[in-house]
């Protein structure tokens, strides 16, 4: 069965404690995908994307990565800096549950 849940982004992103989305108590998440919407996804000179990094029972953990759009040389994806305000972003997780 597919379940969909949306949450607001954190006001202060913390790499040590990445955001999570928790599904119902009587379900187990088998697989999950994440989408992010909002103007904050286009931070000044960066593009940001969300990635599911762990699934444990009913909790889906995700991290946020950014890449420079103005770098003089090819840039690499890096995790969003601590204290970045992403409260204007809505994260939607689609999870396959049992």
Q: What is the pLDDT of residues 36-82, one digit of tens each?
A: 888 766 667 888 889 999 999 999 999 999 888 888 887 899 999 99
Q: What would the pLDDT profile of 17-29 be if each residue is shown by its tens digit?
A: 999 999 987 679 9
Is there a contact between 52 and 30 (Cβ–Cβ < 8 Å)?
no
Indicate the number of domains in the chain. Answer: 1
Which secondary-structure segment (H or E) carries 95?
Answer: strand 90-97
Domain that holds residue 14: 2-97
Query: In the prediction, which pLDDT does 57 show?
Result: 93
Q: What is the C-alpha R_g of the chain?
A: 14
Q: What is the pLDDT of residue 75?
A: 85
> Which tokens is 21 given?
């989305």
pLDDT value of position 40: 65
Beta bridge pairs of residue 33: 94
- Let me know: does 86 contact 18? Beta carbons within 8 Å: no
From the DSSP assignment, how many helices (H) and strands (E) are in the chain? Answer: 0, 7
Q: What pTM was computed for the model?
A: 0.85
């Amino acid at each position: 069965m597919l379940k969909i849940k949306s949450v607001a982004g954190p006001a202060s992103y913390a790499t040590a404690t990445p955001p999570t989305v928790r599904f119902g108590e009587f379900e187990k998440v088998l697989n999950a995908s994440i989408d992010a919407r909002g103007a904050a996804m286009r931070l000044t000179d960066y593009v940001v994307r969300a990635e599911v990094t762990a699934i444990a029972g009913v909790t889906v953990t995700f991290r946020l990565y950014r890449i420079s759009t103005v770098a003089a040389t090819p840039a690499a994806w890096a995790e969003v800096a601590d204290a970045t305000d992403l409260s204007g972003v809505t994260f939607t997780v689609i999870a396959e549950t049992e």
